[in-house]
């Protein structure tokens, strides 16, 4: 009597998108909305270690490049601060050109042995462009001028899109209301909200 066994399936290397989807960002929610010549980026203030809340009022949105760029991060605080430092250096190196600095940061992030282990996502905007930068090398500009990242990102994104479509609220108000909604749903997001704005 012989038993037939299936050969183990060959290990398939996951795509960059699959890796990004498997990563869990239990640290915050960041939302950017551009409307009527104004871009607003906001985040909650919760810092979580495992199932413990360590801080309620962390500032995860900053002005960079002398106030010309606003950026927010989701992910490990130490990793995000390292990214902020790198990103600000890239902005200075490329004359505050947001797109060029973001592409160069993404390239370094994907190829550098130290940077590729950083667990964070970056949302950045200047007066004309909004970008999402990830460690898998993506630099994405949202089609509808709304982008969200973090554990509460899907909730905030859905709320913001609904508010953009069905209200006349300004960008900062949409960001605030959407983050409040996300905070009521996602346990890793709180209602200590920080918002920065830029006008064209």
**Active site annotation includes 200:** no
- Distance from C-alpha of 14 to C-alpha of 23, rounded to nearest angstrom: 12
Phi, psi of 43 (to 5 degrees): -150, 165
| The total number of residues written for the chain in this structure | 200
User: Of 28, 29, 130, 189, which one is the catalytic site residue?
Assistant: 28
Kindly give, in sequence order, each residue whose CB lies less than 8 Å from that of residue 35, ignoring residues fewer than 6 positions away. 145, 164, 170, 171, 174
Q: Give the Cα separation of 66 and 105 in Å (integer).
A: 19
Active-site annotation, residues = 28
């Amino acid at each position: 009597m012989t038993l037939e066994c299936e050969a183990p399936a060959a290990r398939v290397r996951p795509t960059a998108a699959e890796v990004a989807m498997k990563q869990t960002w239990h640290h915050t929610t960041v939302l950017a909305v551009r409307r009527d010549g104004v871009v607003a980026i906001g985040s909650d203030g919760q810092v979580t270690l495992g199932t413990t809340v360590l801080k309620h009022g962390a500032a995860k949105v900053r002005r960079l490049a002398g106030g010309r760029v606003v950026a927010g991060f989701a992910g490990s605080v130490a990793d995000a601060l390292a990214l902020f430092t790198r990103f600000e250096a890239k902005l200075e190196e490329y004359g505050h050109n947001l797109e060029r600095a973001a592409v160069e940061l993404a390239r370094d992030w994907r190829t550098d042995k130290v940077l590729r282990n950083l667990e964070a996502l970056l949302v950045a905007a200047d007066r004309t462009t909004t970008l999402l930068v990830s460690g898998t090398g993506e630099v994405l500009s949202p089609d509808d001028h709304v982008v969200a990242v973090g554990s509460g990102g899907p909730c905030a994104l859905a709320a913001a899109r609904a508010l953009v479509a069905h209200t006349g609220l300004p960008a900062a108000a949409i960001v605030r209301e959407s983050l409040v909604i996300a905070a009521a749903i996602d346990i890793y997001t709180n209602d200590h909200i920080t918002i920065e704005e830029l006008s064209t």
